[in-house]
Structure 1
Amino acid sequence: MAAIPKDVHEQAQEPMAWFQHDANAQQDIKCQRLLMRRGNEGYGAYWRLCELLASTKHHSIAVDTDEDWLILAGAIGMRSMGAFDETVSIAETRDFIDCLLEIGLLVRDGKGHIESERMCKNALYFGKQRVNGAKGGRPKKKQENPQE
């Protein structure tokens, strides 16, 4: 794999306003596994998580503390209400994320964060676009001298 230029890598860490989502994503084997295990509710929570990853600097989410898990639970619509809501929310969100890790839709970065390899690829694409856009338009073509 070719080395990623520093300026592209830096730009890829910035939040994305949008990301590519294949119209047939549900046909991907990983998404099929998610649908089988968690149904449409889990599939929806997964895409909410993808949106969160896209809009977050570095495209990774901390899952190191109980507070991190509660924040994530709220962000992806898994926050329980009622008695023991924090405990239930943390347990259900951990279980859901473990499922996504097992399926291969997420990975751990080894620093207490989760991320999506697909989202990282999307971010690199946008990093390249941002760097190229900063260069301006295409260089002017050399004009041949018609009098010669």
Structure 2
Amino acid sequence: MNISEAARQTGLSAKQIRDYEKHGLLAPAQRHNNGYRHYNENDLIRLKFIRHAREVGFSLQQTAELLKLQDNPHRNSSEVKALTAKHIEALNTQIQSLQNMVLELQRWHDACKGDGCPECPILEGLVGSNQKVS
């Protein structure tokens, strides 16, 4: 199948597929005489794996590591679990950071009267603590 059909079946764009090939996550596609890429069922399985890994936030490097483990029939599942635990920890750190941002923005938002006066706690908060915006 060609790249547009592979894209349709995997939920990826043709550009993403070419990028994954460029980054070595997918072996270079076979080419037809006309130069068009050709993908088989194994390529689709690999592309779906990549898409799922990216959907849960694994980086390209982490996805490459997971693919190496997937390709190794003698893999040790503890390696997969350790990589995933590290990713979960990073996601939890990001979540905490985002929650802190929401709290700060909400505090500024709640303090802003939103009326016609020029004082704005949101702008003051963005400038820095205890500094007035002129």
Higher-Rg member (1/2): 2
Provide the TM-score with structure 1 as the length reference: 0.30
Which has the larger share of helix?
2
Provide the TM-score with structure 2 as the length reference: 0.33
Larger RCO (alpha carbons 8 Å, 6+ apart): 1
